[in-house]
Chains A and B, each alone.
Chain A
Amino acid sequence: NAGVTQTPKFRVLKTGQSMTLLCAQDMNHEYMYWYRQDPGMGLRLIHYSVGEGTTAKGEVPDGYNVSRLKKQNFLLGLESAAPSQTSVYFCASSYGGLRENTEAFFGQGTRLTVV
């Protein structure tokens, strides 16, 4: 039972470097999400996707890009990392939107530090 798998689990970047976080789910879910978790801020939605080939902006999209080329994968890219992007990133997926009374399943998180 893999569920939602995020890679890598930890990463340290220098300011200005780029990287891609990978999220993979094996539950055939239509919806996928990227959140960031910061102390005292809870989780904030970065981008999300309601199906293969679609993406949409969330609450804090600046500095990030995403792609959903395959239904099972949702990639989060940082083109030029900044210290303000130091955070724990969580990917989640759900079968449908919440009006369909479905549950969101979360990955274990990626701890990213930008120095």
Chain B
Amino acid sequence: GNSVTQMEGPVTLSEEAFLTINCTYTATGYPSLFWYVQYPGEGLQLLLKATKADDKGSNKGFEATYRKETTSFHLEKGSVQVSDSAVYFCASGYSTLTFGKGTMLLVSP
């Protein structure tokens, strides 16, 4: 079946540091890929997505590129802010979503 593996957290960074959160997937065919973000006490919000190989999703300074050859969709941001502290979920799917376990990001001033 489909599965998503992402790096375990927490990831602890200082403000303005570079962020990478790794995500790999297993699936038959070429699913759509997503990053969702969850702030404390809230539901999940879509951060970015990519629907085919080599697509790059971007939003709020975050980027991720759909890499078919490595079945990966790593999340990156060049300069994190304290307000980016949240849990990030990688997900893949066709008609339903399969989520990774989530990675907590903690950014200190």
Contacts of A74 in B (CB 8 A): none
Q: CB distance B97 to A109 under 8 Å?
A: no
Interchain nearest-CB distance for B33 vs A (Å):
10
Segment touching B, from A13-21, A43-51, A62-70, A78-86: A43-51
- The complex places the Cα of A31 from the Cα of B89 at a distance, in Å, of 21
Q: A98-B95, A99-B32, A99-B95 are in contact. Are A106 and B44 (CB under 8 A)?
A: yes
Q: CB distance A104 to B97 under 8 Å?
A: yes
Interchain nearest-CB distance for B51 vs A (Å):
5
The count of residues in chain B whose C-beta lies closer than 8 Å to any C-beta of chain A is: 22
Contact with B along A1-40 (1 / 0, CB 8 A): 0001000000000000000000000000001010100001
For residue B94, CB closer than 8 A to chain A, the reply is: yes
Q: CB distance A41 to B46 under 8 Å?
A: no
Q: A90-B44, A103-B46, A106-B45 are in contact. Are A58 and B32 (CB under 8 A)?
A: no
How many of chain A's residues touch chain B, expressed as a range?
A: 20 to 34
For residue A53, CB closer than 8 A to chain B, the reply is: no
Q: A101-B51, A109-B42 are in contact. List 17 more A-B contacts (CB 8 A).
A: A4-B43, A31-B95, A41-B101, A42-B99, A43-B44, A44-B99, A45-B96, A45-B97, A45-B98, A90-B43, A90-B44, A92-B44, A97-B95, A98-B95, A103-B46, A106-B36, A109-B43
> Could you list which residues of chain B lie within 8 angstroms of chain A, going by C-beta atoms?
4, 31-32, 36, 42-46, 49, 51, 89, 93-102
Can you report 24 A-B residue pairs in the complex whose CB atoms are below 8 A from each other? A35-B99, A40-B101, A42-B100, A42-B101, A42-B102, A43-B44, A43-B89, A43-B99, A45-B96, A45-B98, A48-B96, A59-B98, A92-B44, A97-B94, A97-B95, A98-B31, A98-B94, A98-B95, A98-B96, A101-B32, A101-B51, A103-B46, A107-B43, A108-B43
